[in-house]
């Protein structure tokens, strides 16, 4: 699956993905999009009208009959008419800008939401792929405004094409030769912009990994999690130099492209200016010869800068479309992943009568991108209502096994069953609602203390008693009740009035979270590693009472945590070496006895 994804990423081309973008924006804000189109049409009509009114005004002034008493009032009428159109144009532009702003916000929210929904629905294995992070980082960058920018740019291009057609027809009324002359001089600007926009996009695709690396280093230098080590180990300067090296490399690679683009733009805009003066000369000579009017010169002087701006706008609009295309593609790439994953899956209900005994049958597993398997031919049973412990040295594969039990990864060989049915047959959410883990690298949520606990089952109706009950069982209640706002206290220091606690206290909140859930299987992966010896002993000595009749899987390096388990598996190098009760294993001459027979101070 990862390989398919990598292939898909490689296939990103610079083709414009306009149809999908339009549908996306229509989905987010149909009404506002229609309004934008209407306003753009109004703007164009008013723009044209105001310019043409100006030309008529100048012609009227230049042909004025000074003996005619009505001519003054007639001129004023034309001035008022031209002014009204110009004001109408200004108002239409302001309304358009407002509509576009509202539309942009709506689209940005819609896309952010879709990106989040897609990210949370992806299998964990996607997070193993650097390609995924490249696409995600581009999609996130694109998320807030780019699809809308593409639509507004398209509307702008459409508006400018309409304006150009209108302006072109006005130029045509002066003299037909001016139009092809102008196009010939201005067109190279357009081509140069499109060419370099395309080059810039290819450059961006190539450099996303480098950009991500520098963003990572920048984050390391500024984030709180790394602040302590950076100071203690004096890593600041070293990391900053690494960051600077990447920035300089990216800058230098981009410089060459920028240099070529600037040179080409200087040449093409000079050509356009030559065209302008050639036309001015042509009309000026025509006026002297009496073939063109003063109004024509005024019209041209107003129109030419306008038409030049319009053509510039069209070309920069096209370059914006290309420029944003890679980001838009990344968004669709991300959205498409979800559809691929979830299609055609049919689920069966969770077992009711058969119980929830979990069984791993000859399970083997290799991480995506890894060469060697982490788990080899593992068979373990977690009977309903029993406490099972898994023991092993660092890197033995214990946490990996937990990830498989949580259905975060699927085994490459063998199967995991619940109540005799392969867990792949169950709906993921439903299956996971039966499993409540405390991960080794549990999350510290910067929300209230009670929400830290409620996150164990957010669908459960709010009950303060249940929250406090779980909190007491985990040992968190003792410190939470001392907070000024008890369970309403904000945890962590990211937000105002936040209360930072020790790592052991965070861990107690994580345990309370797992206990709060109604899941029938609890998993404690090094869940008490930061607890003091007294707190850990208290927890495990009455563990059965605390978890009532639920099943549990405990992973720990401490004998005190596992000795009460009903059955213990010893894992080494991804295989089960030994299994039995604590007493049986201690009496065997194996790894378990070596680890735990000589009591250590913490056991």
Residues in contact with ligand ATP by the rule CB under 6 A: 128, 367, 370, 374, 392, 394-400, 440
- Smallest distance, Å, CB 125 to ligand ATP? 9
Q: Which CB atom, from 106 or from 398, has the smaller least distance to ligand ATP? A: 398
Angle between helices 294-342 and 236-289 (to 10 degrees): 140
Shortest CB 401 distance to ligand ATP, Å? 7
* Sign of torsion over alpha carbons 10, 14, 18, 19: negative
Would you say 397 or 475 has its CB closer to ligand ATP? Answer: 397
Give the number of other Cβ atoms within 10 Å of residue 206's Cβ: 10
Round to whole Å and give the CA distance between 563 and 387: 10
Instruction: Rank residues 38 and 370 by Cβ distance to ligand ATP and give the closer one.
Output: 370
- C-alpha–C-alpha distance, residues 474 and 479, integer Å: 11
Q: Are 275 and 242 in contact (CB under 8 A)?
A: no
Least Å distance, CB 271 to ligand ATP, is: 57
β-bridge pairing 567-572 and 551-555: unpaired
Give kind and range of the element (H or E) at residue 146.
helix 146-174
Structure tokens at 420: 């005799």
SS3 state of residue 133: helix
Structure tokens at 202: 């290819």
How many Cα neighbours within 13 Å face the side chain of 15? 6
Q: Which is nearer to ligand ATP, 146 or 398 (CB)?
A: 398
* Tokens standing for residue 278: 């050639």
Cβ at position 542, least distance to ligand ATP in Å: 26
- Please, what is the minimum distance in Å from the beta carbon of residue 364 to ligand ATP? 13
CB nearer to ligand ATP: pick between 105 and 399: 399
R_g of the chain, CA atoms, integer Å: 35
Query: Cα 328–334–340 angle (5° rounding)?
Result: 130
Give the whole-angstrom CA distance, residue 467 versus residue 488.
12
Cβ-based nearer residue to ligand ATP, 368 or 590: 368
- Name which of 63 and 369 has its Cβ closer to ligand ATP: 369
User: Would strands 387-392 and 551-555 be described as parallel, antiparallel, or unpaired?
Assistant: parallel
Q: How many residues does the chain have?
A: 603
Nearest partner of 157 among 376, 274, 322, 344, judged by Cα: 322
CB atoms within 10 A of CB 11: 9
Q: Which is nearer to ligand ATP, 53 or 391 (CB)?
A: 391
CB of 478 to ligand ATP, least distance (A): 28
> Looking at beta carbons only, is 300 or 506 nearer to ligand ATP?
506
Q: How far is the CB of 400 from ligand ATP (least distance, A)?
A: 3
**How near is the Cβ of 369 to ligand ATP at its closest, in Å?**
7
Strands 375-382 and 358-365: antiparallel
CB of 527 to ligand ATP, least distance (A): 12
| Contact status, residue 190 vs residue 311, Cβ threshold 8 Å | yes
By CB atoms closer than 10 A (0-12, 13-18, 19+), residue 195 is middle
Decide whether 216 or 335 has the Cβ nearer to ligand ATP: 216
């Amino acid at each position: 699956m990862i390989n398919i994804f990598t292939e898909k990423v490689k296939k990103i081309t610079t083709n414009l993905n306009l149809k999908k973008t339009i549908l996306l924006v229509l989905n987010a804000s149909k009404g506002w999009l229609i309004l934008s189109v209407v306003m753009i049409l109004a703007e164009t009509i008013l723009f044209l009208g105001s310019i043409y009114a100006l030309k008529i005004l100048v012609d009227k002034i230049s042909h004025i009959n000074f003996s005619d008493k009505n001519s003054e009032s007639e001129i004023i009428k034309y001035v008022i008419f031209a002014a009204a159109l110009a004001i109408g144009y200004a108002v239409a532009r302001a309304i358009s800008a407002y509509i576009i702003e509202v539309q942009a916000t709506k689209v940005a929210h819609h896309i952010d939401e879709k990106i989040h929904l897609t990210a949370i629905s992806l299998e964990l294995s996607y997070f193993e792929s650097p390609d995924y992070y490249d696409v995600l980082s581009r999609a996130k960058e694109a998320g807030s405004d780019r699809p809308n920018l593409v639509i507004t740019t398209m509307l702008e291009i459409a508006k400018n094409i309409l304006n150009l057609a209108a302006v072109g027809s006005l130029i045509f009324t002066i003299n037909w030769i001016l139009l092809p002359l102008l196009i010939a001089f201005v067109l190279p600007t357009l081509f140069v912009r499109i060419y370099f926009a395309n080059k810039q996009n290819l450059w961006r695709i190539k450099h996303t990994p480098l950009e991500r690396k520098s963003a990572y280093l920048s984050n390391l230098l500024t984030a709180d999690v790394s602040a302590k080590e950076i100071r203690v180990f004096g890593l600041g300067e070293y990391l900053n130099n690494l960051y600077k090296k990447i920035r300089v490399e990216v800058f230098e690679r981009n410089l060459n492209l920028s240099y070529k683009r600037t040179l080409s733009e200087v040449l093409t805009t000079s050509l356009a200016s030559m065209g302008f003066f050639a036309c001015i000369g042509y009309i000026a000579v025509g006026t002297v010869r009496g073939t063109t009017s003063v109004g024509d010169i005024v019209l041209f002087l107003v129109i030419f800068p306008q038409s030049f701006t319009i053509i510039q706008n069209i070309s920069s609009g096209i370059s914006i479309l290309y420029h944003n295309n890679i980001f838009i593609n990344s968004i669709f790439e991300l959205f498409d992943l979800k559809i691929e994953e979830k299609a055609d899956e049919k689920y069966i209900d969770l077992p009711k009568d058969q119980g929830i005994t979990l069984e791993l049958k000859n399970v083997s597993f290799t991480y995506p991108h890894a060469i060697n398997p982490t788990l080899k031919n593992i068979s373990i049973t977690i009977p309903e209502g029993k406490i099972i412990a898994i023991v092993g040295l660092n890197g033995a594969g214990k946490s990996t096994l937990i990830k498989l039990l949580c259905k975060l990864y699927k085994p490459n060989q063998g199967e995991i069953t619940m109540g005799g049915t392969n867990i792949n047959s169950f709906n993921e959410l439903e299956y996971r609602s039966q499993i409540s883990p405390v991960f080794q690298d549990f999350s510290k949520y910067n929300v209230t203390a009670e929400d830290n606990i409620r996150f164990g089952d957010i669908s459960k109706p709010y009950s303060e008693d249940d929250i406090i009950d779980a909190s007491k069982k985990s040992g968190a209640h003792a410190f939470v009740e001392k907070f000024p706002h008890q369970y309403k206290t904000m945890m962590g220091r990211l937000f105002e009035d936040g209360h930072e606690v020790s790592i052991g206290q965070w861990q107690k909140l994580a345990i309370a979270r797992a206990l709060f859930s109604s899941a029938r299987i609890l998993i404690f992966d090094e869940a008490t590693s930061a607890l003091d010896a007294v707190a850990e002993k208290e927890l495990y000595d009455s563990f059965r009472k605390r978890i009532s009749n639920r099943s549990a899987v405990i992973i720990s390096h401490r004998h005190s945590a596992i000795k009460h388990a009903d059955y213990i598996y010893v894992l080494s190098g991804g295989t089960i070496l030994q299994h039995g009760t604590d007493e049986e294993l201690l009496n065997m001459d194996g790894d378990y006895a070596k680890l735990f027979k000589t009591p250590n101070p913490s056991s």
